[in-house]
Amino acid sequence: MTTQPPSPGSGTGTSSPPHKKLKSSVSAELPDVIPTNGFTEVTEAPIKAAFLPNDSMGTTETIPKASSSQSQAPVKPKGKKNRKQKRTLPEKYSAQDVLFHDVRDFLGVEYVDGLIGKKEGSEWEAPEELKLFEEVTLTVGAFTVSGESISLFPGDKPWAIITPFAHPGDRIRAKIHKHDRLCSFADLLEILEYSEEYRGGEGDRRKYPENGCRYFGECGGCQLQPVPYPLQLQHKKRTVELAYQRFSNLHKDLIPGIQDTIGSPKQWGYRTKITPHFDAPPKWIQKQLKESGEEAALNSLANGDGEKKGWECRIGFERKGRPGVMDIEECPIATPVLNKKMTEERKRVQNTIMSFTRGATLLLRDSLPSPDPIPSSSSPFSHDTAPIIPAEQHVAITNHKQAVYERVGKYIFSFAAGSFFQNNNSILIPLTEYVKEAIFPPSPAASPASKPPTPTPTHLVDTYCGSGLFGITLSDKFEKVAGVEISHDSIVAAKKNAEMNGLQDKTTWLCGKAEDIFGGLAEKGFEGGKSCVVVDPPRKGCDEPFLDQLLHFKPLTVVYVSCNVHTQARDVGYLIRESESRGREKGWKYVVESLRGFDLFPQTAHVESVAVLRWIEN
């Protein structure tokens, strides 16, 4: 998820989920480069970025042209020359907005805020000596959260340059291809001097040529591949820390120390779903196919000149920094069964490519073989008697509607191959066990010294429940479980999974309405005063109506699992501030008890985050 309030450390502004404007706030001063126990980094990906505290989402900023040094009478705009340039600012709390905070920290908060405050538009003007397509020599200063490098252009005007595949301390040669707000983007041409501080991991092909991915440096998928795994985990811990500093709009005293990121048991061969894609043949080939047939079209490819020679069918992923698909034969973070299937799928597409008039995306999903018989409510799955299926006996599913089977601890799950389910099975037991322990800590969660401990929840409400992952894996700790979703297909899948695991009498699955997501729970015996709510939304996070309904339900514990820590920080900040406001008269509020990252995607910069909020009497 992505979401970002005002400036770090500011306690005066107000940030909230979508639909609610952000009040302005005073920025806290941050160092130019933020060190984390020797691991220097800032925040997210090389994309357009912007942040103005008082702008609403998707606003357009008008940037005046630089004025002439001579005083002139106002001239009525005439033609294109005198038109003001319009710059569309990115959506608040987006990855682009996050990158702006990287650049802002790197160049200096006071400098950047002062420059923007002048409202002259000079933050969009690259240094005069920095031309497009120019080659420059740079020393990398830091990482962004997305794993790109950020360097200071050696000129008079402070200006950042974002370059992929380089590491802090490297001396590089890069080619500028785009100017943006306070920064330019460049392609990496050469690393002149390597810094070893962030290299030497298992995927560092300079040291271990047979390891890692042979496409690293072109494919944009695994940004942190050369970095030793402990440092990857440090990087992700810092990502969570920065997200809450920048986007929660909570005073630092309300944010607990970020716990160490939980690593994945598998760092390679873990991904259970991949979606390679390909482009259709060019229009001129398709035209020749219709007019002269496939043989003539293939002859044109072999014998033609210019653009009509050398086109090839590429099946894989996007190439970093350049348009088009990169041909990829294998992906080392995908499971072995998926790589084997990709070889077969590549041959199939290559043999039939002339039949495609549009590009397409392939789906490959790792699955257990279909159980025989399939577990049911009358004959549920038994982990005691079910054999552990070795990875080499797994199957690859390519049909979006076909059932996938996956085991998580003592439970079995089934879902359509095209639907959502976590893509790293190896970490699902640590993740779900952590959530369980966070809800039921070894000693009761204590309120302030003079107050009694928070009661222990007996009921679980799994919102955004999908196929029922949390509702089912946590069920043995609760008297009753309810799963809530607005997707009918997800509710059908969750209900089937509950039946396969013999939990049909203990669980309730409700297809709710967005405006009344907790509707119907009271009739089933669920009330906030004895419930825990798990929140696991998509990347965009929760909207304000959902969070308001959650506050009204007033559960004892909220566990917020997020695939986008930036929107999580926004939403958690909203819950804490609103609970203080709404609960002041009756003496209750929520506190953030713990924050921790989980590494569901090793070798990449992505981090999952788990926040635990506890209701206390104030």
| Exposure b/e, 464-491, CB count within 10 A at least 16 = b | bbbbbbbbbbbbebbebbbbbbebeebb
Please report how many Cα atoms fall inside a 13 Å half-sphere around the Cα of residue 259, on the Cβ side.
17
Q: Which residues are part of a known binding site for S-adenosyl-L-methionine?
A: 422, 464, 485, 536
Residue 444: closest CA among 436, 435, 453, 452: 453
Does the CA dihedral 243-245-246-247 come out positive or negative?
A: positive
Helix (H/G/I), strand (E/B), else coil: 548: helix
Please report how many Cα atoms fall inside a 13 Å half-sphere around the Cα of residue 52, on the Cβ side.
22
Cα 504 to the center of its chain, rounded Å: 33
Residue 599: closest CA among 586, 609, 588, 591: 609
Rounded distance between C-alpha atoms, residue 40 and residue 57, angstroms = 30
Residue 552: closest CA among 615, 464, 471, 618: 615
Rounded distance between C-alpha atoms, residue 509 and residue 493, angstroms = 10
Q: Which of 213, 222, 465, 563 is catalytic?
A: 563
Q: Which residues are part of a known binding site?
A: 422, 464, 485, 536
Residue 249: closest CA among 550, 29, 574: 574
Rounded distance between C-alpha atoms, residue 187 and residue 163, angstroms = 6
Rounded distance between C-alpha atoms, residue 356 and residue 378, angstroms = 46
Is the separation of the CB atoms in 524 and 547 below 8 Å? Answer: no
Instruction: Give me the numbers of helices (H) and strands (E) for the chain, helices first please.
Output: 11, 26
**Is residue 563 flagged as an active site residue?**
yes
Rounded distance between C-alpha atoms, residue 184 and residue 130, angstroms = 9
| 89-to-58, 183, 317 alpha-carbon distances in Å | 6, 14, 28
Site of tokens 């601890």: 409
Rounded distance between C-alpha atoms, residue 149 and residue 469, angstroms = 36
Q: What does the block give as tokens for 79?
A: 């033609």
Q: Is 312 left (phi over 0), alpha (psi -120 to 50) or beta?
A: beta
Which residues sit opposite 152 in a β-bridge?
160
- Based on C-alpha coordinates, what's the Rg of the chain? 27
Active site residues: 563
